[in-house]
Structure 1
Amino acid sequence: MDAKMENQLELVEKSYDKTIEFGKKGINLYNDLPEYITNDPDYPIFQKMIIEGGTSDSDRKEIRDYLSPNTNMKFIDLGCCLNLMFRGYDKWPSTYHGVDISSKTIQLLDEFVTKKQLPIGSLYCGSIHEVPFDTNYFDIGACIGVLEYFEKDFVARAIIEAHRIIKPNGKLVLDIPDIGSPECRIMMIIEEHLGRPDKFDLSFQEFEDMLKNYFEIDKKEKFGPMIQYFLSCKK
């Protein structure tokens, strides 16, 4: 991994660690934004997103409907954040495995799992481009709100790794930023302020060309500042 990629991973890690630490104190950093952001003409779009369901699209009904989790399935949540706690993934019948770069996130999830005595598979602190799971291990997966932080080379490695660990015909939902949309523009400004700048540098066509050797695109949908892809694993 080159130094630029390592530096970006470190920025994302530190930013989410900070978000967790402030969250434990009851402080939501999205509610404490500087005036240059709150006075931005696109800021009301961000406020509308918050009212309509927050800044995360991990808990969309469409994701669960597409992945159709059942008790015989292993599910990998790549860049899991706190989905297990706040996005209903603890209610899924599939066996949950989470990966996140933030050690504070994994620590909090560990505490949550212990307190609730949840029968999950594993929690792993590390980057999604290199995970400690066997080939063809997972039936279903998600990678929501992650790829926007990274440039082409990392995105390619993350897709190859996701393809490796998901079974033939397994399903994956992931998203990328809808660059150029006002929703994405204001989110990128906010994410940079939070210390985790978006670095995504692919057009839709370039991204889909990257996918085609690994996944079949069953459908794609715009949601807020992101485009979600619903994929079947080709092997």
Structure 2
Amino acid sequence: MEKKQGDKIIDYYNNLAPTYDENRFDNTYGHFIDSEERHVLNRLLTGKENKVLEIACGTGRLLDYAGYGIDASEKMLTIARQKFPKKDLQQSLGQSTPFNDAYFDAVYSFHLMMHLEQEDIYGIIKESHRILKPKGRLIFDIPSLSRRKLFGREHGNGWHGNTALNQTDVARLSDGLFKIVSVTGIMFIPVHRLPSSWRKRMLSLDISMASSPLKTLSSYLIFELEKI
């Protein structure tokens, strides 16, 4: 019997866990992505939030912004627990978490939604609404559909990075649950095509372009939603 897509994703990240940090982020391209994502999180998460959850926390790259984390891959969580032994880290899907209603001030998730069908994305949005306090915020990234259409590539390879959305799509998926507060782009410049020695120098320019009126043409969009 063929495995379900969710099981395939979990198996993929279980196998990748031992080399994930080194292969994905210990290089100039990974440093570029990490710097841009932290730039946005530093602005959106002010430190006044009492309880923050990261969905799909992986090996813990961005867990310094949260006190709680969940991931479907136990092997990724094993590494995250070694880095952050005092944080509350649990194995769970984003569509069905073990937390009480109205528990968190903010929930964020990076590099997850792009792997999921829209039905599953809606499930995470709905569950986030349940566990967030009134006016709590959900922050997540997704590949820009406008960017993909511009280059004639609306879909990824299989499940990996297959889903891209625009602001209209996110508004539809979150209708009645959240309102969109802000949208920020990241990776406007195709840095993967640049020599590695150029990437760090292009960071400030990329942040500026990805925050401009052209931001919808960035590679990824980061949505900040507020619970209604």
TM-score under structure 1 normalisation? 0.70
Identical-pair percentage: 18
* Separation of aligned partners in 2, 1:103 and 1:58: 27
Q: Paired residue for 1:61?
A: 39
1:230 — aligned with what?
Answer: 224
Q: Which structure 2 segments of 5+ residues have no match?
A: 188-218
RMSD: 3.3
**Alignment: residue pair count:** 195
Preserved contact between residue 69 and residue 140 of structure 1 (Cα < 8 Å): no
Superposition deviation, residue 113 in structure 1: 2.4
The corresponding residue for 1:7 is 4
Contact persistence 1:172–1:230 (CA under 8 A): yes
Q: Aligned ranges for residues 148-167 of structure 1 at < 5 Å?
A: 148-167=114-133
C-alpha change, 1:10 and 1:204, in structure 2 (3 Å) is same
Aligned mates of 1:179, 1:53 — CA distance in 2: 21
1:7–1:30 Cα change, 3 Å: farther
Structure 1 residues 1-235: aligned runs within 5 Å: 7-23=4-20, 28=23, 50=29, 53-54=32-33, 56=34, 59-70=37-48, 73-82=50-59, 84=60, 86-87=61-62, 89-90=63-64, 92=65, 96-114=67-85, 119-120=86-87, 122-179=88-145, 181=147, 188-189=156-157, 197-200=160-163, 203-224=166-187, 225-234=219-228
Look up the equivalent residue of 1:110 and give its one-letter code. Answer: R
Structure 2 CA distance for partners of 1:131 and 1:9, relative to 1, 3 Å: same
Q: Is the 8 A contact 2:54 2:69 kept in 1?
A: yes
Q: State the TM-score, normalized to the length of structure 2.
A: 0.72
